[in-house]
Structure 1
Amino acid sequence: MVELLKRDVMEDVAIIGGLIGVQFVYAGNAVLLSYLMSMGLRPITIVIFSTFATFLILCPIAVYFERSRWPKKFSLKLITQLVLISFGGVTLFQTLFLKGIQLTSPAMATAMPNLAPGFIFVIAWTFRLEKVKLGCLYSKVKIVGTLLCVVGALAMSIMHSTAVDTKEAQLSSPSPDIAFDTQKIIGCLYLLAAVFILSTNVVLQAATLNDFPAPMSLCAITSLIGVVITAAVQLIQDHKIETSWPLVGFRQMIGYSLLGGAVSGASISFNGWAMRKRGPVLVSTFSPISTVCSVILSVVTLGDTIDIGSLAGMFLMFTGLYFVLWAKGKEGYYQGDDFESELNAKKPLLS
């Protein structure tokens, strides 16, 4: 009995420590991506290389562990779903997300994904995958939480776009006619669009996993298809695939991509294991840590600044996130170790 209690305690410590570590990794990855783009790398190029690295790393693992779960026949419906997931999750989401980082900051980029639970709730409600009773306390809390997330995101975006860099303020006084930084506003819109696409993609993945119950294999296949689609987009835009950069060597780019793919794969795998052990609500509650880490890393390494207004917007967003997660947990949707039930499109996604 004592050994069992010790094992449970050690497991809890490992899960909590690991989840905190994963958020540090996400924050560091956002800062690294911002640094790479400052060296002249285009977002679409980073998407191609990093996604292909993810495919190379996940493919052998998926073949070894999930081959028995593959469908015997790929129907037209399943192929269409795979292409849509690839286009949305790889080409659109990652490109918009990286452009958002480029125009705003890593802190803003890691804060915006906290809108995803609220967006997923609204999308699932729209497509009747989520049953909402307006007389139910938990439904009301989720609606209020979603609104708080959106208000927080808008406030953070507005305050971030009006922030004046200290060095620039010392050199020249800002014109009273120019109240907003247009580039930062566009960057925030990119991030909002990226998170909305990600949320839509999660709902589509939930439906696809009914016919293709192999999450790692799904990720590997959609990564490969996404690379092809993204490369085709770059070929149409530039009439070439970019393979040389002034400040980054080809070997360095491969190294960054493989490192990013390996770290990302390890983080996703650990999150999946933690979800099986303790449920998705616990995992989601740690997501704001990456924003705090990004703020600190951005200030220390990139010299970014963040104002009180942006912090207030982040606080509103995090409050809304925890409202949604609290209601989700109280409704008792998560049951035991049945992680796959979280991916069943016939069951509510957030209730």
Structure 2
Amino acid sequence: MEGQGTRRVLVAAFFNKVKPFLAMVFLQVGFAGMFIVTMLCLKRGLSHYVLVVYRHAAATIAVAPFAFIFERKIRPKMTLKTFLKIMALGLIEPVIDQNLYYLGLQYTSATFASAMFNILPAITFIMAIIFRLERVSLKSIHSQAKIVGTIVTLGGAMIMTLYKGPILEMFSGKTPTHSGTTSSSSGTGQNLLVGTLMLLGSCTGWSGFFILQSVTLKEYPAELSLTSLIVFLGMVQGGAVALVMEHDFKAWAIGFDSRLLAPVYSGIVCSAMAYYLQGVVMKDRGPVFVTAFNPLCMIIVAALGSLILAEQLHLGSVIGAVVIVIGLYSVIWGKSQDHIESPTLAKGKGSSLELPVAVKDVMDHENAIGGPANKSEIPTTILVSQK
């Protein structure tokens, strides 16, 4: 019995440690699918303003019942200050960020857009420093790594924008010749510049969303309810923008094809589930960790974009993406050193940066062995969060 109780605690500790990684990998796979499905939808003529509204309508329908059922008793009281922050969240990401993203996607390609979004951790890191959510000491090596990595990441984004290079053939021996397929992926230099600026604006908006969500969660620690309010207010505000921008009501028509699949898929997976999982992980790991898995999405989209959309991949995009990944993981290494030092440097200053094992798991272990657990039986990596 004692051995079984110890094993249960060890398994719980291991699962608790890998949960944030599994959640972020799952989301990157989901985001990769969104890049492809959304590009197909936009090519078939659906307005991106309408897509934003339908996406968050689907997200609201998906997540609101769960918030109502599971958080009835723990939902904190709503204040005007918190409500205004949630309204800002609904405007920054669902409306501003996503409309800029869809515009940038139309001017570039799914592969280029997913690669460009690798600068998201760098922008988030800069904003986290500005709002004092990230610690930087110029004398420490890991802080220097984060700063240098941020500069390298931004340099990679400039390479992708300014240098195109020859076309790389990934999965086929010939390049598609019909202009309808390749116009959005190759584009003119002016279109590429405009699309890049749109994507940079989208990245900035998404980073601001992460920062504000991290702050709001401290005042309103009910992830499902917060997600429901964000997507609902995003739908309302996005609807107002769409009504102003789209005067033809035929633009709102959808059928049982990609024009329906795109808002349903992106709403459920990339809004409802993403906002919730990001909020859960962000409470313990911070906004920079949440944005650190984007290269996985880029790899998946590059493969799917060539297979499904017949997109052209240019050498400049590959070189820029490699530079971005190098800079990105310099930032991640610096963040990992923060996690190692946090138990000794930040005692009593918020929650541990390791995801905590629930107190119930430790109590189950005590009950299983018939008494209080000895310190030697519980791994030293089990940390209970301090509020």
The answer to whether the superposition gives a TM-score over 0.5 is yes
Shift of 1:19: 5.3
Structure 1 residue 209 corresponds to structure 2 residue 217:
yes
In the alignment, which residue of structure 2 is the partner of 1:175? none
In the alignment, which residue of structure 2 is the partner of 1:52? 57
Structure 1 residue 145 corresponds to structure 2 residue 149:
yes
In the alignment, which residue of structure 1 is the partner of 2:298? 291
Whether the 8 Å contact between 1:99 and 1:190 is mirrored in structure 2 is yes
Structure 1 residue 66 corresponds to structure 2 residue 65:
no
What is the TM-score when the length of structure 1 is the normalising length? Answer: 0.80
Q: Deviations over 1:39-83 (max 9, x none)?
A: 0011111111011111111111112222333332422x2222122
Whether the 8 Å contact between 1:276 and 1:337 is mirrored in structure 2 is no
In the alignment, which residue of structure 2 is the partner of 1:345? none
In the alignment, which residue of structure 2 is the partner of 1:121? 125
Structure 1 residue 318 corresponds to structure 2 residue 318:
no
In the alignment, which residue of structure 2 is the partner of 1:232? 240
Cα distance in 2, alignment partners of residues 284 and 195 from structure 1: 11
Aligned amino acid, residue 62 of structure 2 = I
Of residues 315, 329, 335, the one that matches 1:328 is 335
Identity of counterpart residues, as a percentage? 27
Q: More deviation in 54-63 or 125-134?
A: 125-134
Whether the 8 Å contact between 2:111 and 2:305 is mirrored in structure 1 is yes
Shift of 1:327: 0.6
| Structure 2 unaligned regions, length at least 5 | 169-174, 180-186, 343-351, 358-387
Shift of 1:276: 8.5
Whether the 8 Å contact between 1:22 and 1:267 is mirrored in structure 2 is yes
Whether the 8 Å contact between 1:118 and 1:149 is mirrored in structure 2 is yes
Question: Tell me, what secondary structure is at the counterpart of 2:312?
Answer: coil
Structure 1 residue 36 corresponds to structure 2 residue 41:
yes
Shift of 1:195: 0.4
Cα distance in 2, alignment partners of residues 26 and 331 from structure 1: 28
Cα distance in 2, alignment partners of residues 300 and 94 from structure 1: 25
Whether the 8 Å contact between 1:114 and 1:318 is mirrored in structure 2 is yes
- Structure 1 residues 101 and 180: CA distance shift in structure 2, 3 A: closer
- Structure 1 residues 163 and 196: CA distance shift in structure 2, 3 A: farther
Whether the 8 Å contact between 2:167 and 2:313 is mirrored in structure 1 is no
Whether the 8 Å contact between 1:55 and 1:224 is mirrored in structure 2 is yes
Aligned amino acid, residue 257 of structure 1 = P
Structure 1 residue 249 corresponds to structure 2 residue 267:
no
Q: Deviations over 1:64-113 (max 9, x none)?
A: 222333332422x2222122111111110011111111111111222223
Structure 1 residue 222 corresponds to structure 2 residue 230:
yes
Cα distance in 2, alignment partners of residues 13 and 137 from structure 1: 26
- Structure 1 residues 302 and 284: CA distance shift in structure 2, 3 A: same
Whether the 8 Å contact between 1:234 and 1:241 is mirrored in structure 2 is no
Shift of 1:300: 0.8
- Structure 1 residues 139 and 6: CA distance shift in structure 2, 3 A: closer
Aligned amino acid, residue 35 of structure 1 = L
In the alignment, which residue of structure 1 is the partner of 2:96? 92
Q: More deviation in 123-132 or 260-269?
A: 260-269
Aligned amino acid, residue 228 of structure 1 = V
Structure 1 residue 337 corresponds to structure 2 residue 355:
yes
Whether the 8 Å contact between 2:110 and 2:305 is mirrored in structure 1 is yes
Structure 1 residue 130 corresponds to structure 2 residue 134:
yes
Shift of 1:269: 5.4
Of residues 76, 80, 86, the one that matches 2:84 is 80
Q: Deviations over 1:115-152 (max 9, x none)?
A: 22211221122233333221121211111011111011
Greater Rg over alpha carbons, structure: 2
Aligned amino acid, residue 255 of structure 2 = G
Cα distance in 1, alignment partners of residues 14 and 126 from structure 2: 37
Whether the 8 Å contact between 1:281 and 1:329 is mirrored in structure 2 is no
Q: More deviation in 230-239 or 65-74?
A: 65-74
Cα distance in 1, alignment partners of residues 102 and 226 from structure 2: 23
The number of equivalent residue pairs is: 327
In the alignment, which residue of structure 1 is the partner of 2:172? none
